Amino acid sequence: MNFTTNYQETYQFSISDPEAFWGEQASHLPWFRQPTEILSQDGLGMDRWFVDGEMNTCYMALDYHVEQGRGNQAALHYISPVTGMEETFTYQELLDQVALLAGGLVELGLQKGDTAIVYMPMIPEAVMAMLACARLGVIHSVVFGGFAPHELSLRIEDAQPKVIFTATCGIEIEKIIPYQPIIDAALQEVAHQPNFVIVAPRPQVAPTRREGRDLWMQEVMDLGSPAPCTPVLATDPLYILYTSGTTGKPKGIIRDNGGHAVALHFSMRAIYDQQPGDVFWAASDIGWVVGHSYIVYGPLLLGGTTLLYEGKPVRTPDAGIFWRIVEKYKVKTLFAAPTAFRAIRKEDPEGKWIGKANLTGLASIFVAGERCDPATLSWLQEVTQKPIYDHWWQTESGWGMVGNMTGIEALPVKPGSATKPICGYDLHILNEAGDSLPHNSEGYVCVKRPLPPGCLPSLWKDHARFEKSYLSTFPGYYLTGDGGYRDEDGYVFIMGRIDDVINVAGHRLSTGAMEEIIATHPAVAECAVIGVKDELKGQVPVGFTVLKDGFHLSADVLQFEIRTLIRNQMGAVASYQLTYHVTRLPKTRSGKILRKTMRQVWDAEPFTVPSTMEDPAVLQELKELRGE
């Protein structure tokens, strides 16, 4: 696959003739039946890619590379400083394990179109479960292991899985978190019950069995013989990944097989400048889209080597762990959230740990998941002496939307900007009337349809919500939900969410979901949660409550009880700590809570009092609370 070395030329080709552009990219993958119908529309008027193509994602990621002579190449390095374990799987070894697991699933009655939930820590069995599902055309839905039973139950009820994969525990630094009780508690909340729960035992916690339901993963692998790959259509779903909506109910993002494979294969070369055999490390979690795209699928689709890391950037055991891994495993490209590097900087501001490692093989560092602040970017450049590239994308897109396409032409970096739109994304900045804005004017970040391959075609069992959430605001455009602007050079600056989803250390979480939980407290009459700036995590949630008449709680008691509610129902991942009691919430005359204005006041940002605001004097209480 040879790219031109001119960004603008390649980008313009992708926009002016998307069918020719993506047809060429699709030709580099091993299809069972090469697609001839590159772009079409389905019965709902949605753009679909490669509709007549037949393939299997697991085949493209494993079998094909073994057939091409890469069987002895490392496919997956597992590094777990929290357990002291390190293990490497070649392509042949990973294929053997995945095919056996898929064979066992067939014996359990799973078939193409069924669903499975994967609620597992960062262990090789989790990757095997995802690939085994893909091998059979079973639609997997990975749920981040930090979610509490209630959040897991919402996803179980929506996905209706035939099986749930789990492990006996996860490990957070030194804390052991048993997973089986979480599964049991979640299943008590839902009507749908899976046929089987498949458990990967870990030495830290012994498994417990519910007869007739629970099976150990090795038992499943022993049930049958290795399963061949099931052919699927390009438009058949590969997975569902739930992301927070502005209401409490999560949105099930659908990822189809064909567009996903083409987009990720392209992105590995064009964005990250990877070649087959290169080592790529996305220091994320498989529960998030980065883990799906760039721990599991992207590197393997290319024929590269990926790292699965069970640990933190600090305290497992120290702030030098990232750099030692980069040196030992000859990582070419490192990808992590700015939060990770802020944590490292906090403990190693002078970069002493970095100086102890040989980073000559590291070509570049990519950051995403939240906006990389210029201070972090500058520090990282200074202490590593490596190119640092911010890029921006979403769970909905599945791969980069704005970034520096280093495999085509590495553009100069502008701190605070994610650089320029990536091939296939016809990006526009619109005002509320849907008109394009001039340079340096902030507005709604939108993408003109058709979206490129890899992006969501709909929401799981809720197409009406898909259209309402993303397509109805500006007809002909996809609404990203972020605000931003382009400068005179075409560089894109993403300034933050325009809805009520906040970004906590790269995790998109719904303030609406938190408000629903807080509202269950018997003393709370109404509440609002906003995301405020945090030096380490980018944003953290802060709650504001109005108490019911007759309730008198101390601030400490209210703080503790609401924090406990959030932790029990959403999980520690929410990083929820602070709740303030207020006499009133800022609202419009129609009763809408002005969360954006609250956030601007709290973060000491310039703001204009909305003309629709009921009583501007109520903002004074917020100012007093934050110490003005």
What are residue 15's phi and psi, to 5 degrees?
-85, -40
Q: What is the mean pLDDT of each run of 10 residues along the chain (628 residues)?
A: 83 98 98 98 96 98 98 98 98 98 98 98 98 99 91 95 98 95 97 98 97 98 96 98 74 97 98 98 95 98 98 95 98 94 89 96 93 85 97 97 98 95 98 94 94 98 96 97 93 80 76 83 88 87 88 87 92 89 80 82 84 77 82
Q: What is the pLDDT of residues 343-384, one digit of tens each?
A: 898 899 889 999 999 999 999 999 998 778 788 899 999 999
Residue 554 pLDDT:
86
Round to whole Å and give the CA distance between 601 and 346.
27
Closest CA to 530 of 606, 583, 616, 593: 593
Q: Residue 321 in contact with residue 313, Cβ under 8 Å?
A: yes
Element (H, E) at 552: none
In this structure, the number of other CB atoms found within 10 A of the CB of residue 178 comes to 17
Round to whole Å and give the CA distance between 453 and 480.
16
CA dihedral (572, 574, 580, 581) in degrees, to 10, reads -90
Q: Residue 122 in contact with residue 286, Cβ under 8 Å?
A: yes
Round to whole Å and give the CA distance between 303 and 306.
10
Residue in this structure with the two tokens 């931003």, named with its chain if needed = 484
Identity (one letter) of the amino acid at 537? K
Looking at domain 7-311+391-448, its CATH superfamily turns out to be ANL, N-terminal domain (3.40.50.12780)
Helix (H, G, I), strand (E, B) or coil at 414: coil
Residue 356 pLDDT:
96
Closest CA to 171 of 122, 118, 119: 122
- Measured in Å, how far apart are the chain's first and last C-alpha atoms? 58
Query: Based on C-alpha coordinates, what's the Rg of the chain?
Result: 24
What are the extents of the domains in the chain? 7-311+391-448, 502-625
User: Using the 8-state DSSP alphabet, how is residue 101 labeled?
Assistant: H
502-625 CATH: 3.30.300.30
pTM value? 0.88
Q: Are strands 196-200 and 214-216 parallel, antiparallel or unpaired?
A: parallel
Q: Residue 182 in contact with residue 148, Cβ under 8 Å?
A: yes
Round to whole Å and give the CA distance between 103 and 99.
6
Residue in this structure with the two tokens 């069924």, named with its chain if needed = 114
In this structure, the number of other CB atoms found within 10 A of the CB of residue 112 comes to 12
Round to whole Å and give the CA distance between 8 and 405.
11
Helix (H, G, I), strand (E, B) or coil at 578: strand
Written as six digits, the tokens of 3 are 């790219």
Q: Residue 358 in contact with residue 389, Cβ under 8 Å?
A: no
377: Cα separation from own chain's centroid: 21
Extended beta strands in 102-236, E state: 115-119, 139-142, 163-167, 169-172, 175-178, 196-200, 214-216, 232-233
Q: Residue 40 in contact with residue 19, Cβ under 8 Å?
A: no
Helix (H, G, I), strand (E, B) or coil at 236: coil
Residue 1 pLDDT:
55
